[in-house]
Amino acid sequence: MTDTTILGAPVAAKKAHKGTYHGITVTDDYAWLRDPGYPEVKDKAILAHLNAENAWFENRMAGQQELIATLFTEMRGRIKEADTSVPQKDGDYLYWIEFEEGAEYKKWWRRPVAAKADGSEDQLILDEVALAGGKEYFRLGAISVSSNGRLLAYAVDDNGSERFTARVKDLATGELLPDEIPGTLSSLVWVAGDRGLVYSLANEQWRTDNARLHWLGQETSSDIELYHEDDDGFRVGSSLTANEQWLIIGTSDHETSEVRLIPAADPLAEPILVRPRAKGVEYDVDERDGLLYIHTNDTHENFRLATAPLGQPGEWTTLIEGSDAFYLTGFELFRDFYVIEGRRGGLDQIDVRYYDEPARIEPITFPEASYSAGLGDNPEWAVEKLRLSYESMVSPATVYDYHLADKRLEVLKVQEIPSGYDAALYTTERLEIPARDGTLIPVSVVMRKDRMPGGPLHLYGYGAYGIAIDPGFSTSRLSLIDRGFAYALAHIRGGDDLGRAWYKAGKLERRTNTFTDFVDVAKGLIERGFTAAGKISISGGSAGGELMGAVVNSDPQLWGAVAAHVPFVDVLATMLDETLPLTPGEWPEWGNPIEDKAAFELIRSYSPYDQVKRQAYPPILVTAGLNDPRVTYWEPAKWVAKLRELKVGDSELLLKTNMGAGHGGKSGRFESLRETAEEFAFVLWQLGVEG
């Protein structure tokens, strides 16, 4: 039973539940919040509890509705409502997307390259607004135009479960073909002269263990499995080489990969295995004129670029050596040149290189000392210019074309902020703050130039899966910055901001570095006069939500407000349950507590849910998604229940569960802004900052 009275916070019932692992008994009084019928959640007691938490959230946030409305209006005012992307040529057409005034979703357009830009030959190829009509949730997944330009394949999720239904539209007639593929979780790849689609189905555990071929016009029951993965920890994905001659079927977990190639014109041909998987070796592949290009970490953790003849795909010869100084994150082939991307000192680098002139290296340079830049959408094989994206913490998103002949950047579009934005009012810094073991942690900070020292500060972190946090631009965060906040990004270990070693230093047995780095960054910012203990708000989502849970357990006095979005906080129980969608694939990241007692003990020592204790906690706002397949809804629900039981004092503790959404929260560009406005209102309220 749950106390659903609005006079007090919901108190979840305690029901004894025990499990013994490696001779150690673990109790979990809130395990009942997991519906045994998941992914369907029908248990009335569970739904009543979640609804009671939502009612409590609404009750406690009622006094902040005016502030939420103000923040939402500000954030929406910074978004150009009627907006269009820069058209990009692909074959015989120019393609672009467009938002109409007030629209939550996009429309996808094209026109013939030779047509006038007067709208007379513009063709609406996909209308997300119409597809989302009447739905609480809508998300477009894969979208792919056939090579002849006649057919459009796309996939839609309308409940947040990330199980997409794929359809095919005839762009000449506007009609939907009868082909319908439910349950996909993948790209949609055209093969065999546009007669077939390659895709992957999500199995019962939400794992893509297959690559399948669908012949247009045939029943899906007759679809052919091109590849099946037997390792529960691996996921399968498909794509085409840049020249579209080969179908790439890749399978991987977080540390090992394996690639097969099949002629795109003959998808039933015998696959070519590039190199058998070897634990810890990652690689990805492209092809040009019978030569494979392989991006791999086999000889250096920061990756090298190698080549191999198609006839001897496993014989790799180094083209670009791995380097401690340069982290090679990826590459892209074009007909006459290739591009490598990476980071040097944590800063994005893009180099153009030439097949016939190995010594010719042309770095693309950008105007600021700290920024985020990368290749944009470049769908064609033969090009004379490259589409690039660029932004910094003070510079709005910019789209460039880089002209190779004269090494010139051409500005095509700068993000427009209708309500106004003056970059001269803001300043950004790149700091290095020592962690307790002496490692220097990069921190990116943005604030107004007229900000008073010692004021409130918002600190964001993630620190997992080798995902870097780029020092990019955000219009939403201006609502805090313009109210006197500094906004800081902690580039903590566990991400790959400074290379692969940086990632490895925050995973498995070194996982706790991520948490202590974040705390030490906060203390360093206090020591440097940016802020003070209790004036720091923090946020993170998913694995970043795990970070939030760990640091409120270890150092609750530092934080004035905490926002934990879809937080991965029940780490031990999730890693012990191999039936859950992601668990086997996550063991290389966190460890396998089923087989390894040391991993069990380590995870238990930091798992936020398991380490909740009787102490004062800062104000915490938690979000969840009922249909979330990544961080299941019961993790945040259990965590909040246990916090309510053990925390001392009357600090706010709120849980909001989106009952019709998944891992990403609500869909739509404005509805998602409303949730950010709620988070910021909570922060301002708890820190006592005027709205």
**In the prediction, which pLDDT does 122 show?**
97
Q: Using an 8 Å Cβ cutoff, are 214 and 225 in contact? A: no
pLDDT surpasses 80 at 381: yes
663 is a catalytic site residue: yes
- Per DSSP, 233 falls in state T
Query: Pick from 518, 593, 581: which is nearest to 549 by CA?
Result: 518
SS percent in the chain: helix, strand, coil, step 5: 20, 35, 45
Token pair, residue 386, equals 């490259």
pLDDT tens digits, 464-476: 999 999 999 999 9
**In the prediction, which pLDDT does 76 show?**
96
- Per DSSP, 654 falls in state E
pLDDT above 90 as % of the chain: 91
Query: Pick from 312, 471, 453, 465: which is nearest to 390 by CA?
Result: 471
Determine the Cα angle at 424 with ends 430 and 346, to 5°: 20
**In the prediction, which pLDDT does 4 show?**
43
Q: Cα–Cα distance between 483 and 100 in angstroms, integer?
A: 31
| Close Cβ partners of 166 (under 8 Å, ≥ 6 residues apart) | 142, 153, 154, 155, 179, 180, 181, 182, 184, 188, 197, 199
pLDDT surpasses 90 at 669: no
pLDDT above 70 as % of the chain: 98
pLDDT confidence band for 1 (50 / 70 / 90): very low
Q: Using an 8 Å Cβ cutoff, are 260 and 227 in contact? A: yes
Q: Where are the beta strands (DSSP E) in 229-337?
A: 235-240, 246-252, 257-263, 272-273, 283-288, 291-296, 304-309, 317-320, 326-333
Q: Cα–Cα distance between 431 and 442 in angstroms, integer?
A: 6
Q: Cα–Cα distance between 515 and 588 in angstroms, integer?
A: 19
| Close Cβ partners of 400 (under 8 Å, ≥ 6 residues apart) | 387, 388, 389, 390, 409, 410, 411, 412
**In the prediction, which pLDDT does 663 show?**
56
Domain spans of the chain, in order of start: 135-273, 325-416
Report the range of poorest mean pLDDT among 124-128, 179-183, 198-202, 624-628: 624-628
**Conformation bin of residue 652: beta by default, left when phi > 0, alpha when psi is -120 to 50:** beta
pLDDT tens digits, 82-109: 999 999 999 999 999 999 999 999 999 9
Q: Cα–Cα distance between 477 and 487 in angstroms, integer?
A: 8
* DSSP alpha helix (H) spans, 471-511: 478-481, 500-504
Token pair, residue 382, equals 């033969």
Determine the Cα angle at 156 with ends 155 and 160, to 5°: 135
Q: Cα–Cα distance between 31 and 14 in angstroms, integer?
A: 9
| Beta-carbon-side half-sphere exposure of residue 500 (alpha carbons within 13 Å) | 23
Average pLDDT over residues 516-535: 98
**In the prediction, which pLDDT does 662 show?**
55
Query: Pick from 235, 258, 259: which is nearest to 248 by CA?
Result: 259
Angle between helices 669-687 and 44-61 (to 10 degrees): 60
pLDDT confidence band for 581 (50 / 70 / 90): confident
Q: Cα–Cα distance between 656 and 543 in angstroms, integer?
A: 18
Average pLDDT over residues 641-647: 98
Average pLDDT over residues 654-672: 77
Burial class (CB in 10 A: 0-12, 13-18, 19+), 102: exposed
Query: Pick from 467, 489, 493, 469: which is nearest to 477 by CA?
Result: 489
Q: Using an 8 Å Cβ cutoff, are 398 and 368 in contact? A: no
Rounded to the nearest integer, the mean pLDDT of the chain is: 95
Q: Where are the beta strands (DSSP E) in 610-675?
A: 620-625, 653-658
pLDDT confidence band for 52 (50 / 70 / 90): very high
Q: H or E element: which one contains 49?
A: helix 44-61
pLDDT surpasses 50 at 395: yes
Q: Which of 238, 539, 542, 607 is catalytic?
A: 542
Q: Write the CA distances from 520 to 139, 431, 456, 497, integer angstroms.
A: 38, 13, 17, 17
**In the prediction, which pLDDT does 159 show?**
85
pLDDT confidence band for 2 (50 / 70 / 90): very low
Report the range of poorest mean pLDDT among 46-55, 499-508, 664-673: 664-673
**In the prediction, which pLDDT does 585 show?**
87
Token pair, residue 611, equals 């380490």
pLDDT confidence band for 672 (50 / 70 / 90): confident
pLDDT surpasses 70 at 364: yes
pLDDT tens digits, 228-245: 999 999 999 999 999 999
Token pair, residue 375, equals 């290749």
491 is a catalytic site residue: no
Pairing of strands 457-460, 536-541: parallel
Q: Which of 179, 401, 555, 628 is catalytic?
A: 628
pLDDT tens digits, 249-258: 999 998 999 9
Q: Which of 49, 295, 491, 663 is catalytic?
A: 663
Q: Write the CA distances from 561 to 69, 332, 682, integer angstroms.
A: 20, 43, 8
Q: Using an 8 Å Cβ cutoff, are 14 and 29 in contact? A: yes
Average pLDDT over residues 36-54: 94
What CATH homologous superfamily does 135-273 map to? Prolyl oligopeptidase, N-terminal domain (2.130.10.120)
**In the prediction, which pLDDT does 582 show?**
81
Average pLDDT over residues 485-497: 97
Average pLDDT over residues 51-73: 97
pLDDT surpasses 80 at 3: no
Q: Cα–Cα distance between 664 and 484 in angstroms, integer?
A: 28
pLDDT tens digits, 173-210: 999 999 999 999 999 999 999 999 999 999 988 889 99
**In the prediction, which pLDDT does 562 show?**
98
More confident residue, 671 or 642: 642
